[in-house]
Structure 1
Amino acid sequence: MSRPDQTSYMLRAAAGDAGRAYKRQLIDLLDIQVGQTALDMGCGPGTDLPALAERVGDSGTVIGVDRDQAMLTRARERTDGLHQVEIREGDVHDLPIEPGTVDRAKIDRVLMHVAEPADALAQLHHVTRPGARIGLAEPDWDTLIVDAEDLRTSRAFTRYTTEEVVRNATIGRSLARFAEQAGFRVETVLATTPVFRDFQEADHTLGLGRNMQQAIDAGRVDRERGHRWFTGLSAGPFYASFTLVSVICSR
């Protein structure tokens, strides 16, 4: 299976029940005030920018930063007419933001993909003000479980996902440590468990088919066994889940 269009993938993942719930919680815990400057670091297609704009009000500023042109285009379309939103092209390792100017910031499922998570958090510390509040949310893919009669193949799928598919697959469990090492004070650590009962939704979000095919092609799973595993999942009933870690910290 080919990798899905990333902008559509992110929008669909955010629109699901699990996506909406943790995003709302993360933004609520940021305690954004009217007139503040809020940063969405790695904003993607701008899923959360309207909600941030609502919190800062007409007198505040929301800055969305991403390096992907397709994401930036969708983010600009999504925030057309929201005068307080600024979309900036940039890398999380070198933020296009003046030092000490951000009051609130969030990083949502970005650090698992970046080359140097510690450097990205150091950049975030550089651009935030003293007293700023920061929200981080990342999965821990070692905790991915997929129910199947063939438990051995389910475990092989999770190992392959962790070792080969996601760059920083266990970043969720390390978030609090990384935040403290970057100079932030950790205030809250939460763990939630998104649950998938719909096979099609899980296949889209978790990459069941495409990642299993990659594992087969890499010789990590027997071809017949992998195809039988995937076919069995699609026949249902279905269950999969993983742990998502959210950290709220201050500067």
Structure 2
Amino acid sequence: MLRAAASGSGRAYKQQLIDLLGLEPGQTVLDAGCGPGTDLPALAERVGEQGTVIGVDRDPAMLARARERTHALREVEVREGDVHALPMDAGSVDRAKIDRVLMHVTEPTEVLAQLHRVTRPGAVIGLVEPDWDTLVVDAEDIRTSRAFTRYTTEEVVRHATIGRSLARLADKAGFSIETVAATTPVFREFEDADHTLGLGRNMQQAIDAGRIDQDRGRRWFTSLSEGPFYASFTLVTVICSR
């Protein structure tokens, strides 16, 4: 998803997310599931030297990249931990974000409960997740495009439609919903879409699983690179308060 984040749509939703968090100097900010630390410098810039930015991830490779990216930023801490059991004290965070992580975790409700635990009363929390049911790939063979999206949502992504459920789940976790917004990342380059959306990889899995006929699936994939390309999906942002 790094390429998606670096695209125009990706930069727009990330900027929107950071703006809506209302970060102020001196605050403590959590980036839960920070990955390679892409957002940590921007968060650190907002809270300043008197603030603290804590990135949490469980993947050693991601932690190494995050530490390398932020080694010169004294206000940034990178901690190893599972978002199901955040390595932080209760009520210790002023702002928190979790971006495209809940779709992969074992129990999204447990992660939201953890975010509720570690945030202070009055804290602001930003949640961002895609709704993969909205994935569209333009092709003359629209039946295969639809079959590809169904396979992606049913077999590839653990919680494929969590984007549409964010506000409801956050409300059940005890948060107050402040803002719900949607962004549509658009892919016009076949190679970028193939890398980010797993077009070829997931199509081959669908063929191997008997969900899509082999010849039909391969013709569909080949056709995508032969003319103007379009694919998109919906990304949902929810801002809530503690």
d(CA) in 2 for partners of 1:136, 1:108 = 6
- How far the C-alpha of 1:193 sits from its partner, in A, is 1.0
C-alpha RMSD over aligned residues: 0.7
Q: Which residues of 2 match residues 206-217 of structure 1 at below 5 A?
A: 206-217=197-208
> Identity of aligned pairs, percent?
79
| Equivalent in the alignment of 1:4 | none
Q: Which residues of 2 match residues 176-187 of structure 1 at below 5 A?
A: 176-187=167-178
| Equivalent in the alignment of 1:250 | 241
Q: Is the 8 A contact 1:14 1:47 kept in 2?
A: no
- How far the C-alpha of 1:13 sits from its partner, in A, is 2.9
* 1:195-224 CA-partner distances (Å, limit 9, x unpaired): 111111111111111010110111111011
Matched, 1:95 2:90: no
| Equivalent in the alignment of 1:132 | 123
| Equivalent in the alignment of 1:66 | 57
Specify every segment of 5 or more residues in structure 1 that has no aligned partner in the other structure, as ranges.
Answer: 1-9
| Equivalent in the alignment of 2:37 | 46
Q: Is the 8 A contact 2:138 2:230 kept in 1?
A: yes
Matched, 1:110 2:101: yes
Specify every segment of 5 or more residues in structure 2 that has no aligned partner in the other structure, as ranges.
Answer: none
| Equivalent in the alignment of 1:224 | 215
- How far the C-alpha of 1:12 sits from its partner, in A, is 2.8
Q: What stretches of structure 1 move > 4 A for 4+ residues in a row?
A: none
May I ask how many residue pairs the two structures share in their alignment?
242
| Equivalent in the alignment of 1:33 | 24
TM-score (norm. length: structure 2): 0.99
d(CA) in 1 for partners of 2:3, 2:57 = 18
- How far the C-alpha of 1:102 sits from its partner, in A, is 0.2
Q: Is the 8 A contact 1:11 1:45 kept in 2?
A: no
Match of 2:153 among 153, 162, 167: 162
TM-score (norm. length: structure 1): 0.95
- Secondary structure in structure 2 of the residue aligned to 1:235: coil
Question: Which AA in structure 2 matches 1:31?
Answer: G
Question: Which AA in structure 2 matches 1:58?
Answer: E
- How far the C-alpha of 1:234 sits from its partner, in A, is 0.8
